[in-house]
Structure 1
C-alpha cells in the first residue's frame, strides 16, 4: 500500500457487494471516529473502543489539537459524552467553537450558539494537576459509569487525558518511592475502565531525548501500556500533521498518514 496517497484513497475497504457493506458497518461499531480523516483512515475507523490510544510527539506537534477535535466531533455527532482531563489549561470553549465551524455537519439545522451549547454540555472538562487528583477523578468516573450516570443525556464514551506524562513524569524517579507502582495503578485503572465500559481512552505523552532520536517519555514500563501508540509531527509553519504508527495490536508499525488540524 502506498502510504503517501491522500487519506480518502488509502485504507479503504472493498465495497464489491452487500456483504462487504455489512462487514464494514459491523466493524465500525468498534470504533469512535475522531473526525480527523487521516487518523481515522490510518486506524481503520478511529479510536478503538475498549482500548487505550496514546498520541506522542514533540511540543506543538498537534497532540492537543487532535484531542480537542476528537472531543468536539464525538459530542457534535451525538456519539456520546466526553470526559476531558486537562493538565495544562489547554482546553478552551473558543477553540471548540472554531473546530465546530470546520466540522462538516451542515445537515444539523441549529444555530451556531445552540450547537456550541449542546456540544459543551456533552464535554466535561476537569482540571487535573497531580497524580492524586487523577486517582480521585478516575474513581469518581468508575462510580458514575457503574451507576449508569449520563452527561447531557449521553453515556460517556471517550476519556481524554492531555497529558498523561505531565502527571506521571514527576513521580517517576523523584521523591515518590512508589512512583512506578502508582503509574502502573493508573494504567490498570484506565484499561479496566476502557474494557469494562467499552470506552475509548485517548492520552497524550511528550517526547524526551533518546539515543540518536527523541522517544516517548515514561520509559519501558509505560511503553507496554497503550494498545495503540501514534507519533504526531507537524510540518513547519503549517497546520498539516503526520500520524505514524509506533505500536498497534493489528497494524504494522511505520504506516503513516497526513491530516489537518485547525489553526
Structure 2
C-alpha cells in the first residue's frame, strides 16, 4: 500500500486486505491516513467509512507502539519488538556525521557541515555560488572524518553535465586538498554522475538506479542539481492554443514533489547519506498599496481586500519614510463616521472580515524562504521555486545571497562624468532552518560572507 510498507514494515495488513486495493489505486499515503478526515478519505478511495476508520486507528496505534509511547502491550504487534523510529539523544549523537565545506567559518554556521540522514537544500539566484558549494562537497565527502565520510558521491544534473575541469581546479588549489598524499586525495573517479533531461528519466533513475548504486558503492552524498528544472518544464508549460489547466497541474506537481521528498528522505535515512539539492529562485512582487484618494469610491470590503498584504511588506515599502500607523485589519473610527454621514458606502450586513495578514503566505514565508525577514532590506526579495509543498519536504534550507559592488573607473580626466561600473560581487550564506543548528537570524546580520575562489568557497573575515 503506497508507503505504509516503508513506514511500518511489520504492520499486519491481512485484516484490511479488502481496503488495500482501493487505497493503492487512489494513492492514499500513510500521512493521508493520519491527517485527512476519514469521511473525505472514504469519498476519495470509495471505501466504507467504518472500515477505513478502523485502518486509520490501527496505523496510528502501530506508530505509537513503534515509538514506544503506547499504553498497549507490545504483543499486539509481535514483530515490532525493536522500535525503529524511537531513538534517544545518545543514539542520535552516535549516528551524527557531517560533510565539511572545507572552510571553518562556513562549517561553524552549519553546525559542522552538511548533515547525513537529512535532505538539505541550497537555494539562491544564478551566480550566487550554488554549484561551487556542491562541487566542494563532492570532493570533501571522500575525506575521512571529521571532514568527510570516506565514501564516494553521486551527482545528478538536470541542466548541465558535471564540470570535471572545475573539480580538478579545486583539487589543485584548495589548501585542504592539494597538500594531501596522492593516495589520500579525493578523486573524480569516486564521483558518479548522470544527466536527467526530463522528469520521466529523473523518476526512473531516482526510483530504480540510484538505490542500487548507493547500496553497491556505499555512496555518502547524493546531489541533485537542480530540483526545479524538470518540474518547471513538465508542469508550467502548456502547448500553444491549449486550454489552461493550471489547477490540475499544480495538484499533480504537488503529489510528485511529495513523492520525491519521501524517496530522498528514505534514501538518506536508510543509507545514512547526505542528500543535497540545489534550487532556483524567482522574484517576489508585493501587492501595491491602494491609494488613499480612491478609498471613498470603493466599499470597505473591496479596498480592504485589495490592500490586504503582509505587515512586513508594508514596512518594507515604507521603510524609514513613514512613521505613521499601518493599515489595520478592521475599519477605523474615522471610516465609521464617514459611513454615518454618507461619504462612504455602508459595509454589507453579511460582511466577513478577511483573514489577518499574519496568516497569509506573503507574511509567513519569511520564516522558511530566507527572504523577507528584514523589513529594511536593500536587496530584491526572492522566493525559492516549487513553493510551500516542497519546503515541507526539507530538513534544512541554506540560502545564498549576492549583491553587486560598484566603483568608478580610474581615468585621467572626466572622472565625474563617468557612471559607476560593476567591480565585483559580495556573497553571503544564511541558514534559514535546520534541525541541528540555529537559524542565522534576520536579514544578513547573522549570515556568513564568503567568496568563490580557485579552491572553491571561502569565508571572508569581517572587516576585510
TM-score range, shorter chain: 0.7 to 0.9
**2:273 — aligned with what?**
199
8 Å CA contact 1:173, 1:179 repeated in 2: no
Please say if residues 65 and 262 of structure 1, whose CA atoms lie closer than 8 Å, have aligned partners that are also in contact. Answer: no
Match of 2:211 among 142, 154, 169: 142
Distance 1:149 1:93, change over 3 A: same
Runs of 4 or more off by more than 6 Å in structure 1? none
How far did 1:229 drift? 0.6
Q: Structure 1 residue 34: deviation in Å?
A: 2.5
1:15-94 correspondence to structure 2 within 5 Å: 29-75=96-142, 79-94=150-165
The one of 179, 184, 193 equivalent to 2:258 is 184
Question: Does the Cα contact within 8 Å between 2:161 and 2:195 map onto a contact in 1?
Answer: no
Q: 1:238 to 1:66 in 2, by over 3 A?
A: farther
The DSSP-based 3-state class of the residue aligned with 2:141 is helix
Distance 1:68 1:106 in 2: 15
Are 1:97 and 2:168 an aligned pair? yes
Cα shift at 1:37 = 3.3
Aligned residues: 229
- Structure 1: runs of 5 or more not aligned: 1-22
Partner of 2:199: 131
SS of the equivalent of 1:45 reads coil
Structure 1 partner of 2:382: 214
Which residue does the alignment assign to 1:258?
Answer: 449
Task: Show the counterpart of 1:18.
Answer: none
Distance 1:36 1:252 in 2: 19
Measure, in 1, the Cα distance between the counterparts of 2:167 and 2:133: 11
Q: For 2:228, what is the secondary structure of its paired residue?
A: helix
Question: Secondary structure, in 3 states, of the residue corresponding to 2:117?
Answer: coil
Higher relative contact order (CA 8 A, sep 6+): 1
Question: What TM-score results when the alignment is normalised by the length of structure 1?
Answer: 0.77
Consecutive unaligned residues of structure 2, counting only runs of 5 or more, are 1-89, 239-247, 287-380, 405-422, 455-464
Structure 1 Cα separation of the partners of residues 201 and 166 of structure 2: 25
User: Normalising by the residue count of structure 2, what TM-score does the alignment of the two structures yield?
Assistant: 0.45
The answer to whether the 8 A contact 1:83-1:160 is kept is: yes
Distance 1:105 1:209, change over 3 A: closer
> For residue 9 of structure 1, what is the aligned residue in structure 2?
none
Q: Is the 8 A contact 1:56 1:230 kept in 2?
A: yes
Q: Summarize deviations over 1:192-213 as a string: whole Å, max 9, x none.
A: 1111111101111111122342
1:87 & 1:196 partners in 2: Cα distance? Answer: 24
> For each residue in 1:96-137, what CA deviation from the matched residue of structure 2 results, as whole angstroms up to 9, or x when unmatched?
0011112223552229xx95xx61111011111222111122
Equivalent-residue separation in structure 2 for 1:168 and 1:228 (angstroms): 21
**Bigger Cα displacement from structure 2, 157-166 vs 172-181:** 172-181
Structure in which a larger fraction of residues adopt strand:
1
- Mapped to 1, the partners of 2:449 and 2:150 lie a distance apart of 24
CA 1:35/1:28 → structure 2, altered by over 3 Å: closer, same or farther? farther
Q: Structure 1: how far apart are the matches of 2:396 and 2:283? A: 21
Please list the CA deviations of residues 146-166 of structure 1 after superposition, one character each: whole Å capped at 9, or x if unmatched.
Answer: xx312xxxx200001111111
Say yes or no: does 1:248 pair with 2:422: no
Distance across 2 between alignment mates of 1:35 and 1:90: 24
